[in-house]
Structure 1
């Protein structure tokens, strides 16, 4: 986790293992363009497979889409906690989402391994940024805004959730969260183009 703070403000940058597992599950189930926000596919790419044999008698792909979107909404609402609980092998917390429960039962091992690899990569990325001082860009964004408006910052907190996504962009979630590709900070001007308008709203 990176965090930067000043007088009355705090910005944190971190990733989320449960969200990684959810996105892996979305992609392996071929659930494109769903969720709010509708994030791009994960990177490295996950090959989708047909789950009709698993879900046909519990509502099929339509139910799976609805259940996944409800799960995603819960993850965003609970962040940084993990709710509902991911408890293999039965996933009893998903008893009201039978299609999603079956897909999780079928793929959780692979999803967990994939997410662990991504978390390791993220830890390496954090160390590289720390050594290079890349996170100081967050300070610059706030300081530029305060110089522009000529006052102290309003009290605010901003959480930036970094995920392994193949599209280099960010998605703003009101009131004070951003989801973004974990590689975006390596492109300072592009990063600034997404984050600066949010900083202007908050600061």
Structure 2
């Protein structure tokens, strides 16, 4: 399966390639550092430096003072962040796959969990197989799965903007419009899911199955 632009595995591969070319004492200003990590300066600053108080900045830019970065230190730090995101994705993928009784391929286990259509299709196929085999899924397990699944969908929806535009190339007005539309969609999905899950939980209290 093709990797998405916002997939941390893609960024990690790019950073590791840059690290092989970097020298221990390399120092870069704003634009060169952004180019080294494969981003625009705006995208690099807004998506990686500003939200992270621990981001390794040698000299913070100000009026009459340029930004400075220790290249190797920045690359190693960003690779560690990618590893954490990949591990988190793997954990969520494995948790969801266990709930539906399937195994996510190793090469996909660290991918961005927001592959909603794939997960939906997979879930439907599993349900069809179990119906043919005369198996049942308990209401409690189904509730657990749907709770996690709903969280996955919401996180996927709210993360679309950064996945589509990880380097911050889109105009601020366009990103805001996308965020507003996606947030409205997330609220709608959340409300529907909560209503359905509450119904399942009520069934659990009565000792039922799905």
Structure with larger Rg:
2
Normalized per residue, the structure richer in strand is 1
Q: Shared topology, TM-score over 0.5?
A: no
Normalized per residue, the structure richer in helix is 2
Question: What is the TM-score of this pair, normalised by structure 2?
Answer: 0.28
Whose RCO is larger (CA < 8 A, sep 6+)? 1
